[in-house]
């Protein structure tokens, strides 16, 4: 990860964070990407599969952000950004980890795509937010509820659709 190399990072967010991102950048200190640790763990996977794993983990982290912001619309958000490799630090290094550290706020100019749950996912996401900590602690019933939210694919929006997204997802 040197030179002019660009790294695709999937940053978990909430709908209110999208407005903040547009105005002043996203104050994220981490995200998910295809890391050497992820490649080693999932050696059989091609690049697209590895990116899907990193993306899915960012969507899972968005549930925790929603738990911290009870006023936010109950929709998971993942912001796909392309950052210079120098701005992306290694995460925890644990085998299979997709975590990366970011060296500062994510600028709006780095956004490649926005991903947000559709209206049909709101009930399942709301239920998952309520039990996400229990699921992470190993509760199988809570994990079943979280899996219900994960059954919903996030909708894809181009950066040019930012305004429309903010109006419809709030």
Q: How sure is the predictor about 1, in pLDDT bands with cuts at 50, 70 and 90? A: very low
Tell me the whole-structure pTM to 2 decimals.
0.91
| Total domains in the fold of the chain | 1
Residue 71 covered by a domain: yes
Other residues' Cβ atoms within 10 Å of the Cβ of residue 17: 20
Q: How sure is the predictor about 3, in pLDDT bands with cuts at 50, 70 and 90? A: low
Residue 162 covered by a domain: no
Beta bridge partners of 12: 78
Beta bridge partners of 11: 79
**Which are the contacts of 165, defined by CB distance < 8 A and separation ≥ 6?**
18, 114, 116, 157
| CA-only gyration radius of the chain, Å | 15
Top pLDDT among 13 and 90 is at: 13
Residue 161 covered by a domain: no
Residue 12 covered by a domain: yes
pLDDT at residue 122 is higher than 90:
yes
Residue 25 covered by a domain: yes
**Could you tell me the residue range of the domain that residue 47 belongs to?**
6-116
Residue 136 covered by a domain: no
Beta bridge partners of 30: 101
Residue 163 covered by a domain: no
Any idea what the CATH number is for the domain that residue 48 is in? 3.20.170
Residue 77 covered by a domain: yes
């Amino acid at each position: 990860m040197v030179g002019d190399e660009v790294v695709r990072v999937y940053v978990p967010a909430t709908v209110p964070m999208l407005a903040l991102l547009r105005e002043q950048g996203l104050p994220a200190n981490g995200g998910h990407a295809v890391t050497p640790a992820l490649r080693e763990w999932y050696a059989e996977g091609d690049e697209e599969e590895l990116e899907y794993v990193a993306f899915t983990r960012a969507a899972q982290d968005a549930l925790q952000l929603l738990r911290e912001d009870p006023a936010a619309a109950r929709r998971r958000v993942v912001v796909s950004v392309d950052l210079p490799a120098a701005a992306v630090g290694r995460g925890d290094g644990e085998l299979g980890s997709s975590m990366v550290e970011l060296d500062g706020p994510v600028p709006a100019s780095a956004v490649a795509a926005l991903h947000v749950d559709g209206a049909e996912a709101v009930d399942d996401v709301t239920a998952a937010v309520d039990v996400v900590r229990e699921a992470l602690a190993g509760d199988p019933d809570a994990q079943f509820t979280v899996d219900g939210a994960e059954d919903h694919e996030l909708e894809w929006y181009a950066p040019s659709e930012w305004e429309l997204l903010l109006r419809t997802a709030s």
